[in-house]
């Protein structure tokens, strides 16, 4: 029903009895959105303009929005809830304990011990998550944008990285080939790159 909401971050509600929340004002409407602590940090400061990717939770006794700083985290949140016994709170905790890339890697490596570090996730639940999601996340990982957080590239738009990656995948390159090519293109550039320029430089790298 909703993809994202873009507006002004007007309130942060931390460590309330029901969790962490933000209020985002858009067109004179204040949306109360549940978040985890990592998203609370990543979304910025009060009065900043921000874009929150949201997921609508609708149960018999509750309806509300959960929000994330990235589309990938929101989509991974929805995937996590496909596991029986993993609800909103557990999915939020997992995406607080691990970044999206870390969580996928942990599941694929079948590291139940690491997963069980997250509050409320015991060894049995961790093994269930691995059993039900490993194959799904291996396939989904192919569509996940290359992580460039370890590169000083603040002006690079994640959507441009995602667009360039999608084209390279369609050309038959594997994700293992694409990751270093895109990271090299971004790291070597001193100027802001759009998707076409990232693609051009990545193809140059792959042709070497």
Domain range summary for the chain, segments of one domain joined by +? 4-68, 72-141, 158-206
CATH number of 4-68: 2.40.50.140
**What pLDDT is recorded for position 33?**
96
Identical fold, 4-68 and 72-141: no
Q: Among 19-23, 48-52, 101-105, which stretch is predicted with the lowest mean pLDDT?
A: 101-105
How does pLDDT run across 94-152, given as a tens digit for each residue?
Answer: 999 998 878 888 898 899 999 999 988 999 999 999 999 988 887 776 666 676 666 66
Sequence-separated (6 or more) residues with CB below 8 Å from residue 63:
56, 57
d(C-alpha 198, C-alpha 191), whole Å: 11
**What pLDDT is recorded for position 143?**
64
Contact 89, 20 (CB under 8 A): no
How does pLDDT run across 189-207, given as a tens digit for each residue?
Answer: 766 778 888 888 888 888 8
Biggest CA pair distance of the chain? 58
Contact 115, 129 (CB under 8 A): yes
**What pLDDT is recorded for position 102?**
83
d(C-alpha 60, C-alpha 62), whole Å: 6
Q: What residues are paired with 7 via a beta bridge?
A: 50
- The whole-model pTM stands at 0.72
Whether the pLDDT of residue 169 is over 60: the answer is yes
**What pLDDT is recorded for position 121?**
92
Question: How large is the average pLDDT for residues 170-199?
Answer: 79
CATH topology of domain 72-141: DNA polymerase; domain 1 (1.10.150)
Question: How large is the average pLDDT for residues 68-77?
Answer: 90
**What pLDDT is recorded for position 150?**
63
**What pLDDT is recorded for position 32?**
96
**What pLDDT is recorded for position 152?**
60
DSSP string, the chain: ---EEEEEEEEEEEEETTEEEEEEEETTEEEEEEE-HHHHHHT-STT-EEEEEEEEEEETTEEEEEEESSHHHHHHHHHHTTSTT--HHHHHHHHHHS-HHHHHHHHHTT-HHHHTTSTT--HHHHHHHHHHHHHHHHHHHTTSPPP-TTSS-TT--HHHHHHHHHHHHHTT--HHHHHHHHHHHHHH-SS---HHHHHHHHHHHHT-
Question: How large is the average pLDDT for residues 48-74?
Answer: 89
Q: What does the mean pLDDT of the chain come to?
A: 86
């Amino acid at each position: 029903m909703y993809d994202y909401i873009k507006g002004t971050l007007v309130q942060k509600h931390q460590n309330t009895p029901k969790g962490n929340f933000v209020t985002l004002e858009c067109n004179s409407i204040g949306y109360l959105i549940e978040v985890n602590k990592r998203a609370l940090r990543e979304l910025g400061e009060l009065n900043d303009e921000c874009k929150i990717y949201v997921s609508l939770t609708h149960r018999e006794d509750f309806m509300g929005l959960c929000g994330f700083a990235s589309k990938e985290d929101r989509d991974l949140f929805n995937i996590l809830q496909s596991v029986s016994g993993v609800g909103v709170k557990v999915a939020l905790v997992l995406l607080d304990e691990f970044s999206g890339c870390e969580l996928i890697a942990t599941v694929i490596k079948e590291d139940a011990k690491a997963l069980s570090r997250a509050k409320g996730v015991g060894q049995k639940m961790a093994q269930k998550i691995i059993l039900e999601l490993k194959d799904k996340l291996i396939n989904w990982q192919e569509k996940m944008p290359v992580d460039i957080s370890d590169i000083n590239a603040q002006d690079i738009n994640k959507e441009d990285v995602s667009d360039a990656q999608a084209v390279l995948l369609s050309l038959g390159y594997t994700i293992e080939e694409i990751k270093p090519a895109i990271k090299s293109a971004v790291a070597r550039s001193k100027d802001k790159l759009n998707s076409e320029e990232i693609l051009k430089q990545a193809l140059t790298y792959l042709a070497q």
